[in-house]
Amino acid sequence: MGKLYRETKKEQGGDRGNQYTVPKGNNFPLPTTAERIGEQFNVSDRTVKNAEKFADAVDTIADTYGDEAKQNILSRVVKLPQKVITQTAKQLYTSETPEWYTPRIIIDSVLELFGKIDLDPCSNGKGDAANVPATEYYTREDNGLARAWHGKVYMNPPYGREVAQWVEKVTAEYQAGNISEAVILIAARTDTRWFNLLAKTGTVWCAVEGRLLFSTPGVKTSNAAPFPSAIFYLGDNVQDFYHCFKHHGPIYRAIEEEEMMQDD
């Protein structure tokens, strides 16, 4: 497969800046997502950040141990304001929240790799209303989990407990040979079963540096994600994926035990 590495800024042509960089000339910090939610509900950004950690922990517990464990935790934790927990969970995990539409810089890299996207199974709309340009779209109403997939797939699944179902679907479709390649943008939750399923199934993955600015079609402002992101690739064009995505972050792959035994 060849050695995968990340170029230095000098090798990339210097520090050109990216979506995480405040443009030169602006001497003020951009408001964070926590500050925006805090202002909306008249609470401190620290309270919002605590709510984010709480929502993330509850979601992870539910993923790992099931609903009974989740309800047990919820019944014991009452310190955080319910309105903040509810709003934070909605912003973090619901697929209807527009903040989590794929940033254009990621779409451009996918198109550079694929040439065209055959299917977006988690689309926010169809035609001109779709954030991701694809030949075919499955929206929530189409229920992409129940449909056959094909060709080159780009997937930015809903953020929530249902993400595991989407990961199982894309890996199953790839292993069955129904899709030739797939790029998956997903939260970098390395402690979950579904993340490690992708890591073992996927050829390589990119650990996105910084926090992505998720966009909303028709809206000029973007919101920084409160979680780190990862971009997985399923397919044989590892070199092309590396060159198309290396500027988003370092590229990794899982090492199988057989590889290590060969060195003995």
Q: Measured between alpha carbons, how far is 262 from 2 in angstroms, rounded to an integer? A: 16
Closest CA relative to residue 163, chosen from 94, 105, 239: 94
* Predicted local distance difference test score (pLDDT) of residue 39: 61
Q: What is the pLDDT of residue 197?
A: 93
Handedness of CA 231, 234, 235, 236 (dihedral sign): positive
pLDDT of residue 214: 75
Query: How many angstroms separate the CA atoms of 223 and 100, rounded?
Result: 8
List the pLDDT tens digit at each of the 264 positions of the chain.
444 444 433 443 443 333 333 344 444 444 555 565 556 555 566 766 666 666 666 566 555 555 665 555 555 554 555 555 555 444 444 434 434 689 899 999 999 999 999 999 999 888 888 989 999 999 999 999 999 999 999 999 987 778 999 999 999 999 999 999 999 999 999 999 999 999 988 889 999 999 888 765 555 556 677 789 999 999 999 999 999 999 999 999 988 777 788 655
* Per-domain residue ranges of the chain: 33-93, 98-262
- How far the first Cα of the chain sits from its last, in Å, is 20
What sections of the chain are H helices per DSSP? 33-41, 45-65, 67-76, 82-93, 104-114, 163-175, 193-201, 238-245, 257-262
Phi, psi of 141 (to 5 degrees): -65, -30
Q: Going by C-beta distance under 8 Å and a sequence separation of 6 or more, which residues neighbour residue 62?
A: 69, 70, 161
- DSSP secondary-structure letter at 190? T
CA distances from 61 to 65, 76, 191 (A): 6, 14, 10
Quote the pLDDT of residue 155.
Answer: 97
Alpha carbon distance 102, 261 (integer Å): 40
Q: What is the CATH number of domain 98-262?
A: 3.40.50
User: What pLDDT score does 237 carry?
Assistant: 96
